């Protein structure tokens, strides 16, 4: 149980301007605000990076979803477009402020086969219970914890301890897919219903366990001395997010046709395999371990 | 039969900087030029838009693959990055010049489910026979004729009457997929082998018929008065490139959940369904008619 009632939920889209699922849902919610109405809280729908949306790019100067750590928000020398937007969004959404949001849902999409992935804003029991509820109503929902998650993470979702990022894929950048739009919208309604029931002190039933994928580390593509990529994701691994990768199994395929094996000592579950936006971040995939969490049931 | 021997083949990638299949294949061929060696002609591999490749964008100022009509190539007032690159590429590849290319293969990819699509540079019997050969060795190859094809088309491939564009999909922009890379490379080898055999006056056997998809018109997304898209591709049509769409069947799904039907009078075969780069060109899909061509057999 959370100790206070959630008064204001923010649904954020277009944090990355070319991830159109969130952009289109926010525009839809702005056009039909009644869809978001619940009696115990209000909901705002916000386009985080309108200039990047207009340009159909991930960002203008810098990845907005890496601009929210405290030091950067407090740094007056950071004056790029995304630096400025981060400060504005912080002022608008931070629970410290009068009209802040108690709960933030940040909508993303990925070229990886991540299905419906939820990354909680913190490991607060309320978020974990919500994840268990969502996994229960839709077994294709998966819970993923990033390494850097914590209260000073650079992601937009870190503005509130309550909430999550939704990652939907596979979908190309700059594209809308009706089915994924519907699935994401259903997930949002599931979240709003859960928050509403909790606010009424009438929490919804959840399972006692939650399966989570905890990030261990990321793996870069093999590169040559000038940084050029020398191998692709191996066809056996492409689109196999959340499936086990055992020691010695192929991971990459180089341009002369040779496989490069996974050299780790334990079985891992790769995610964000071949995400377009991560080439520049030197991430070919993120390795996770699969865990079962016992939950405090309500 | 063609009346002259092909002396020089150009393989072009990165005409669109974020279509990485062609970019990676050109880099591979530049690193391993022996892969392209055939005794009757030489082959060059060329990166068309290196600045866009570096920026991982389709283009810098303007779509390079719309810069090759004669009037633009001759216009000294067009001085943008792609305008200038088009003139340089024309000088380098035009068969009019000493070191020109007789045959151009331009490598593209698409977020649409186009499989292995070949767009010939002209309807010259040699190109059609080549298409029939490629469809014969790989039945998943499809032949697509655009409306604007002709000797003054604005595409790079129009620099030579002989050759084609290869469109491979579905694949997200900014992503390499090992399987599609292999399929495209096999297609290139098929083309080089066919040209080589023809040069030797020992043409390869081809079927007597070729199935082609001839573009009729393009269809835009439904938009509101300020140009914002108001519907997605209908889930029944998404990824259904080359499949029949009958009059009255759903085409789009609007944001209030209503289907918008195809209003035409005859069955069509949509292609380029939900191509990311075509949102800005106001193309949701291109409608084609399916035809059987009788070929002059060799």
Question: Given CB atoms, is B34 within the 8 Å cutoff of chain A?
Answer: no
Residues 112-131 of B with CB under 8 A from A: none
B212-294 placed in CATH 2.20.25.160? yes
- B-chain residue closest to A57, CA distance: B57
What is A167-228 written as a DSSP string?
Answer: EEES--TT---HHHHHHHHHHHHHHHHHHHHHHTT-PPP--SEEEEEEEEEEEPPPB-TTS-
What would the two tokens of residue B2 be?
A: 């063609």
Identify which of A32, A174, A176 has the shortest CB distance to residue B232. A176
Cβ contact A178–B253 (<8 Å): yes
- A-chain residue closest to B229, CA distance: A24
**β pairing state of B8-13 and A259-261:** unpaired
Instruction: Name every residue whose Cβ is closer than 8 Å to that of residue B257 and which is 6 or more positions away in sequence.
Output: none
Query: Where in chain B are the domains?
Result: 8-210, 212-294
Fold type of domain A216-289:
N-terminal domain of TfIIb (2.20.25)
**Distance separating alpha carbons of residues A185 and A166, to the nearest angstrom:** 11
Average pLDDT over all residues of chain A: 94
The pTM (predicted TM-score) of the whole model is: 0.94
Give the pLDDT confidence of A174-188 residue by residue, as tens digits: 999 999 999 999 999
CA–CA min distance A4, chain B (Å): 35
**Distance separating alpha carbons of residues B279 and B259, to the nearest angstrom:** 20
Residue A150: pLDDT band (50, 70, 90) is: low
CA neighbor of A213 nearest in space, from A293, A115, A111, A289: A289
Three-class SS state of B208: coil
pLDDT of residue A290: 98
Question: Given CB atoms, is A281 within the 8 Å cutoff of chain B?
Answer: no
Dihedral sign, Cα of residue A269, residue A274, residue A278, residue A280 = positive
Cβ contact A232–B178 (<8 Å): yes
pLDDT of residue B294: 95
Residues A109, A169 contacting (CB under 8 angstroms): yes
CA neighbor of B8 nearest in space, from B46, B44, B36, B47: B44
Q: Which residues on A lie below 8 Å from B234 (Cβ)?
A: 178
Three-class SS state of B119: strand
Residues 151-170 of B with CB under 8 A from A: 170
CA angle A211/A216/A220 to nearest 5° reads 125
For B131-148, what is the HEC assignment?
Answer: HHHHHHHCCCEEEEECCC
Q: Do domains A8-210 and A216-289 have the same CATH topology?
A: no
Q: Is the pLDDT of residue A65 over 70?
A: yes
Give the pLDDT confidence of A10-47 residue by residue, as tens digits: 999 999 999 999 999 999 999 999 999 999 999 999 99
What is A107-164 written as a DSSP string?
Answer: EEE-SS--EEEEEESS--HHHHHHHHHHHHH-TTEEEEE-TT-STT-SSGGGGSSEEE
**Distance separating alpha carbons of residues B263 and B153, to the nearest angstrom:** 29
For residue B87, CA distances in Å to B48, B84, B94, B139 come to 11, 5, 10, 37
Identify which of B177, B179, B276 has the shortest CB distance to residue A173. B276
State the burial class of residue B35 (Cβ atoms within 10 Å of its Cβ: 0-12, 13-18, 19+). middle
pLDDT of residue B13: 98
| B112: alpha, beta or left? (left if phi > 0; alpha if psi -120 to 50) | beta
Cβ contact B276–A172 (<8 Å): yes
Q: Is the pLDDT of residue A100 over 90?
A: no
Residues B157, B104 contacting (CB under 8 angstroms): yes
For residue B47, CA distances in Å to B154, B191, B194, B261 come to 18, 19, 24, 42
Cβ contact A171–B170 (<8 Å): no
Residues B249, B267 contacting (CB under 8 angstroms): no
For residue B201, CA distances in Å to B1, B3, B40, B43 come to 9, 11, 11, 19
Give the pLDDT confidence of A195-243 residue by residue, as tens digits: 999 999 998 999 999 999 999 999 999 999 999 999 999 999 999 999 9
- B-chain residue closest to A29, CA distance: B255
Determine if the peptide bond prior to A225 is cis (ω within 30°): no
Specify the length of chain A in residues: 298
pLDDT of residue A153: 87
Q: Considering only the top CATH level, what class is B8-210?
A: alpha beta
What would the two tokens of residue A55 be?
A: 């340009």
| Tokens 């769409």, located at residue | B245
Question: Given CB atoms, is B27 within the 8 Å cutoff of chain A?
Answer: yes
ipTM of the complex: 0.92
**Distance separating alpha carbons of residues B84 and A95, to the nearest angstrom:** 52
Q: What are phi and psi of B187, to 5 degrees?
A: -65, -40
Residues B171, B110 contacting (CB under 8 angstroms): yes
Strands (E) in A41-121, as ranges, are: 42-47, 103-109, 115-120
Dihedral sign, Cα of residue A280, residue A90, residue A161, residue A165 = negative
- Report which DSSP code applies to B97: S
CA angle B204/B208/B214 to nearest 5° reads 110
Residues B193, B204 contacting (CB under 8 angstroms): yes
- Average pLDDT, stretch A84-101? 85
Cβ contact A238–B177 (<8 Å): yes
**Distance separating alpha carbons of residues B84 and A126, to the nearest angstrom:** 58
Specify the length of chain B in residues: 298
- A-chain residue closest to B185, CA distance: A255
State the burial class of residue B250 (Cβ atoms within 10 Å of its Cβ: 0-12, 13-18, 19+). middle
pLDDT of residue A4: 65
Residues 223-242 of A with CB under 8 A from B: 228-229, 232-235, 238
> Along the 298 residues of chain B, how does pLDDT read in single tens digits?
555 689 999 999 999 999 999 999 999 999 999 999 999 999 999 999 999 999 999 999 999 999 999 999 999 999 999 999 999 999 999 866 667 899 999 999 999 999 999 999 999 999 999 999 999 999 999 999 987 655 678 999 999 999 999 999 999 999 999 999 999 999 999 999 999 999 999 989 999 999 999 999 999 999 999 999 999 999 999 999 999 999 999 999 999 899 999 999 999 999 999 999 999 999 999 999 999 999 976 5
**Distance separating alpha carbons of residues B45 and A254, to the nearest angstrom:** 20
pLDDT of residue A166: 98
């Amino acid at each position: 149980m959370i100790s206070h009632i959630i008064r204001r939920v923010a649904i954020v889209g277009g944090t990355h301007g070319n991830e159109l699922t969130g952009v289109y849902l926010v525009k839809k919610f702005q056009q039909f605000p009644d869809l978001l109405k619940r009696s115990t809280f209000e909901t705002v729908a916000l386009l985080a990076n309108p200039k990047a949306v207009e340009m159909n790019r991930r960002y203008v100067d810098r990845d907005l979803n890496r601009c929210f750590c405290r030091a950067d928000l407090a740094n007056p020398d950071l004056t790029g477009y995304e630096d400025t937007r981060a400060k504005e969004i912080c002022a608008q959404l931070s629970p410290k402020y009068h009209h802040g949001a108690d709960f933030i849902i940040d909508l993303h999409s990925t070229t990886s086969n991540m299905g419906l992935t939820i990354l909680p804003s913190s490991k607060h029991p309320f978020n974990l219970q919500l994840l268990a509820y969502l996994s229960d109503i839709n077994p294709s929902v998966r819970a993923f914890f990033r390494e850097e998650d914590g209260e000073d993470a650079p992601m937009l979702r870190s503005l509130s301890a309550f909430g999550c990022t939704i990652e939907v894929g596979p979908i190309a950048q700059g594209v809308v897919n009706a089915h994924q739009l519907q699935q994401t919208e259903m997930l949002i309604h599931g979240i709003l219903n859960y928050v509403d029931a909790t606010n009424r002190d009438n929490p919804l039933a959840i399972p006692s366990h939650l399966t989570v994928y905890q990030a261990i580390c990321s793996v870069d593509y093999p590169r040559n001395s000038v940084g050029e990529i020398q191998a692709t994701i191996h066809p056996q691994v492409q689109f196999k997010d959340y499936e086990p990768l055992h020691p010695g199994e192929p991971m990459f395929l180089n341009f002369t046709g040779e496989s490069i094996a996974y050299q780790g000592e334990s079985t891992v579950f790769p995610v964000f395999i071949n995400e377009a936006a991560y080439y520049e971040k030197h991430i070919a995939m993120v390795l996770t371990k699969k865990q079962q969490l016992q939950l405090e049931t309500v």
